[in-house]
Structures are given as C-alpha cells and as structure tokens.
Amino acid sequence: MPAKAAYPDDILRMAATLYYVDGLGQTEVAKLVRVSQTKISRLLAAALERGIVRINVEEYHARHDKLEHQLCSRFGLRSAAVIKTARNAGAEAARQTVGHFGAPFVASVFPKSGVVAVGGGRSVAEVVQRFRRGESRRLTVVQAMGSIDSNLSHVDALELGRAMVKLWGGEFLTLSTPAFVSDKKTRDFFLASQQIKFVWQRLRQADAAIVGVGPLDLSVYLERGVLGAADVAHLRGCGAVGEICGRFFDAKGRECASRWRDRVISIELELLKKIPQVIGVAAGPERAPALAGALRGGLLKSLLIDEALAQALLA
C-alpha cells in the first residue's frame, strides 16, 4: 500500500513526537534530526498521510435536525438540510457555510446515475464547488437555464454543470443560449432549434434538479443590471415574490404572467414541478417570502437552507 517507503517510520515518529507532543518548532526539530526545516515540514505531512499522526475532531453537527423535521412535515418535503450559521454572518458567509456543509447532503440526495438538471446562482455555485470526488457516478447533467450575461460567470449553470461532470464524469448537455433574450420571437426561435429541443427532451426525463431560489429585490439580475428598477416594479405588480431559474412566481408558486416570461430561456416551472427530486438552495432570511411561495406551489421537493431562513419560514 505505501507506494514509497521514502523515510523510515521511526524518523517520522520521532519528528512527529518532537513537534506535536513536545511542542518544538519545525526548526528545532530540524536541528535534532539534522535535516532542513523544509524536510521536517514534508516529514510531518507524510506522518499525517501514513497515519502515524492522527487528528481527531469531535464531530460537529452542522445541521439543525429539529428545524429540518419541522420543515419536512410542514411543507411535505422529501428531505431538508438546515445548516447552522454564525448568528451575525453576512449573506456571503451564510451562502458559503450552507454550500460547505450542504454539499454532502446534496451529493447524497442526487442519484448515482440518471439525469440531473442544474440551475445557476451563487448559492448553487457554493454547493457545486464543494462536491467531492466520491464513488463514480454516471450522470447526465443538463443545463436548466441559459447564461445570465455575456461575460461568463462562475455561477452560471453552464459553469456549474461543467464542474460537475469534470468531477464526477458523465456527460453534460449545454444550452448554448443566454438566459434572457430581447423578445418572444427570439426566444421561440431558440427553442425551435434542434439542440435545444434535444436538451428539453432530456429535461423532461430529469431524475433530479438543483436550483437556487432568489428573492424579487436584491436578485442577481438586478445586481447584474439585467433587470432594472422599473422591471422589478412591473414584476411586483404581477404578484412576483421570488424566482427560480429566471422565472418569477407569486406567493402561491404560480409562474407570473409577466412580460419577462416570454423572454426567458430556462426550464418551465410546470416542468420543474414534475421532477421527482428538486433541491432548492438559498441562504438568508430575506428570502423567506420567495421560499414560501415556491413551497406552496410545490416547486421544490427538498431544501438546503440556513438556520435563519428556516426559522423565518416556520414563523
């Protein structure tokens, strides 16, 4: 099993003892072993690798079991992960924490083989970035929404899908389109294309999906300048409370009949609803109204959110 015997265990034990047990610095250890500090650093790494040094950390329960159960029963979910976050955490920190501790949850919920649809968004990106190479999967990953604007961002579904197949293998079906086009005609033109039809066909067979759930205000679209203040006002007028894959919905989770509806290229909410496992990811209590709407509409089957948001949802 040890590919290279490199250095005898005895030396590693000695160095590790001097360093970890007796608390000497690497430089001091180096003097005793008569090698460079550089080498001690490498020796210690090897000792950790070989198990001569083992570091045990009391298990940390990142998830809030009680809130998860309440959410599941209250909203009839298949599963939920509520991640504990620092009380005063900012939006970015919360997303990262949710991503970090949520990634294993999502990975466990995803099928080992089959079709998986991915949306974009910052929260989803934080999750996807942290997937670990596990037992190999045989997934067909499908991009569920176009790219938000022309400079490709690492939170676009295109990037996230690419990252997933790079890590887990499998094939990735891309939607080579923007998320928003100027009018219905253009949209219909795209949808009529052979490639897109093929992608949609696969979306209909999806076994699972992971999507971000955005609020109306503070949405990435507003931030990125895709949406203007006037647009937001219009959407609010249509009853919109939140967004999934660029599609806005009202408090009951019904897609709003806004003028944006005809300009978006992404999975329809009605189609999403039919996917047996849809994981909604979000962080921050200000997203509670959006989440509540999505849940009422049955758009999501599972949740990955932070504690504050969970509490807001249950209140």
Partner DNA sequence: CGTTTATGCGGATAAATATTCTAGTGACAA
Partner DNA sequence: TTGTCACTAGAATATTTATCCGCATAAACG
Q: Which of 12, 15, 18, 26 binds DNA (CB under 7 A)?
A: 26
Q: Which of 2, 5, 22, 151 binds a copy of itself (CB under 8 A)?
A: 22
27 contacts DNA (rule: CB under 7 A): yes
What is the per-residue binding string for DNA in 31-50, x denoting contact by CB under 7 A?
----xxxxx-xx-xx-----
In the window 209-228, what residues touch DNA (CB under 7 A)?
Answer: none
Cβ–Cβ < 8 Å for 235, 260: yes
In the window 39-98, what residues touch DNA (CB under 7 A)?
Answer: 39, 41-42, 44-45
202 contacts a copy of itself (rule: CB under 8 A): no
Q: Look up tokens 């293998």; give the residue.
A: 169
Closest approach of DNA to the CB of residue 57, in Å? 14
What dihedral angle (degrees, nearest 10) is formed by the CA atoms of 109, 118, 240, 201? -110
Residue 25 vs 237, nearer CB to DNA: 25
Q: What spatial distance separates the first Cα and last Cα of the chain, rounded to whole Å?
A: 54
How many whole angstroms separate alpha carbon 314 and alpha carbon 310? 6
Number of residues lying near a copy of itself (CB under 8 A): 37
* Paired tokens of 59: 């298990």
Q: Which of 288, 289, 293, 287 is nearest to 269 (CA)?
A: 293
Q: Look up tokens 């931030």; give the residue.
A: 223
86 contacts a copy of itself (rule: CB under 8 A): yes
* Paired tokens of 101: 């501790």
Q: What residues pair up with 211 in beta bridges, in sequence order?
A: 280
Q: Look up tokens 């509806």; give the residue.
A: 261
| Footprint on this chain of DNA (rule: CB under 7 A) | 4, 6-7, 19, 25-27, 35-39, 41-42, 44-45
| Footprint on this chain of a copy of itself (rule: CB under 8 A) | 9-10, 13-14, 16-18, 20-22, 31-35, 47, 51-60, 62, 84, 86, 88-90, 92-93, 96-97, 100
